[in-house]
């Protein structure tokens, strides 16, 4: 992460919830928002991961609150919102980052239970989380959905995952219209970032080199790349941007 001295304070006095935020891109986003002054609420499925993330962020002087939340669990989603409002009294930013990719099976060979899981976590949970959060969002608030470059061109081993991420592009448009004018809704489509979620990029040097070669910048993305782009979309610097998807993929082809 960049030195704090180089980072602005665009989120001073604001409260931000980031799902699946104890590692990887989600942690990077929470860290960036916190360094810019937000009170950050981090969450993931395991208490130990939440505790570890809270400790790391507090060590950087960030105001942080950690809650266990499996986004497909209705009670845990409600608890995430309720506890945040009880502690801070408001919500200004929601970043829906949780995602799953439980299989590399082709769509036509995929078990129904796996299709259900992909829709449940990657699409439906974002909708239901925002249903709970919407009554507490402040005027001028912001929602950022985390999609993927795979939403534009689903890869062979990420087909159904890619389709769910395509859905988020449409969901962004629909929610932006529904939540206007008080709340902006935008989407981030990350390229390939070597994290635990995409551990093949760390383990398979040939795959890594192939993907790097498809970018115009000849490198993979970083969690900081995704965090800074998300912070922009969530901030007042993007106050006239809503219903849009920002592709942060080093120039990998996505659209005209």
Q: Please report, rounded to a whole number, the percentage of residues in the chain having pLDDT higher than 90.
A: 86
Question: If you ran DSSP here, which 8-state letter would residue 47 be given?
Answer: H
Annotated active-site residue 88? The verdict is no
Cα(190)–Cα(179) distance, integer angstroms? 24
Domain range summary for the chain, segments of one domain joined by +: 15-193+224-247
Strand pairing class (183-190; 39-44): unpaired
Q: Please report, rounded to a whole number, the percentage of residues in the chain having pLDDT higher than 70.
A: 96
| The pair of three-digit structure tokens given for residue 246, joined into one six-digit string | 């920002």
69-79 pLDDT, tens digit per residue, is 999 999 999 99
**Could you say which of 3.40.50.300, 3.40.50.720, 3.40.50.2000, 3.30.1540.20 is the CATH number of the domain covering 15-193+224-247?**
3.40.50.720
Q: Which of 88, 152, 161, 240 is catalytic?
A: 161
Strand pairing class (137-146; 183-190): parallel
* Beta carbons of 26 and 18 less than 8 angstroms apart: yes
Q: Which pTM was predicted?
A: 0.95
Cα(144)–Cα(16) distance, integer angstroms? 11
119-168 pLDDT, tens digit per residue, is 999 999 999 999 999 999 999 999 999 999 999 998 888 899 999 999 99
Cα(63)–Cα(27) distance, integer angstroms? 14
Confidence of residue 200 (pLDDT cuts 50, 70, 90): low
Return the closest-CA partner of residue 109 out of 166, 156, 164, 165: 156
CA atoms within 13 A on the CB side of 156: 0
Cα(176)–Cα(169) distance, integer angstroms? 11
Confidence of residue 3 (pLDDT cuts 50, 70, 90): very low
């Amino acid at each position: 992460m960049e030195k704090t001295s180089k980072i602005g304070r665009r989120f001073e006095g604001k409260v931000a919830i980031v799902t699946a935020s104890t590692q990887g891109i989600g942690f990077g986003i929470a860290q960036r928002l916190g360094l810019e002054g937000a009170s950050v609420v981090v969450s993931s499925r395991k208490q130990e991961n939440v505790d570890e993330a809270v400790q790391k962020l507090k060590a950087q002087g960030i105001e942080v609150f950690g809650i266990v939340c499996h986004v497909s669990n209705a009670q845990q989603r409600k608890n995430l919102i309720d506890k945040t409002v009880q502690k801070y009294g408001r919500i200004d930013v929601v970043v829906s980052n949780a995602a799953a990719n439980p299989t590399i099976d082709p769509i036509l060979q995929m078990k129904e239970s796996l299709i259900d899981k992909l829709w449940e976590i990657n699409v439906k949970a974002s909708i239901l989380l925002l249903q709970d959060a919407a009554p507490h969002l402040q005027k001028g608030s912001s929602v950022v959905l985390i999609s993927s470059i795979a939403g534009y061109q689903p890869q062979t081993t990420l087909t159904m995952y890619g389709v769910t991420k395509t859905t988020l592009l449409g969901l962004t448009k629909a929610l932006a219209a529904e939540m206007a004018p008080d709340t902006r809704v935008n989407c981030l489509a990350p390229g390939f970032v070597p994290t635990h979620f995409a551990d093949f990029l760390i383990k398979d040097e040939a795959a890594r080199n192939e993907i790097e070669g498809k970018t115009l910048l000849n490198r993979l993305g970083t969690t900081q790349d995704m965090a800074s782009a998300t912070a922009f979309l969530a901030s007042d610097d993007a106050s006239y941007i809503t219903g849009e998807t920002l592709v942060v993929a080093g120039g990998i082809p996505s659209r005209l």
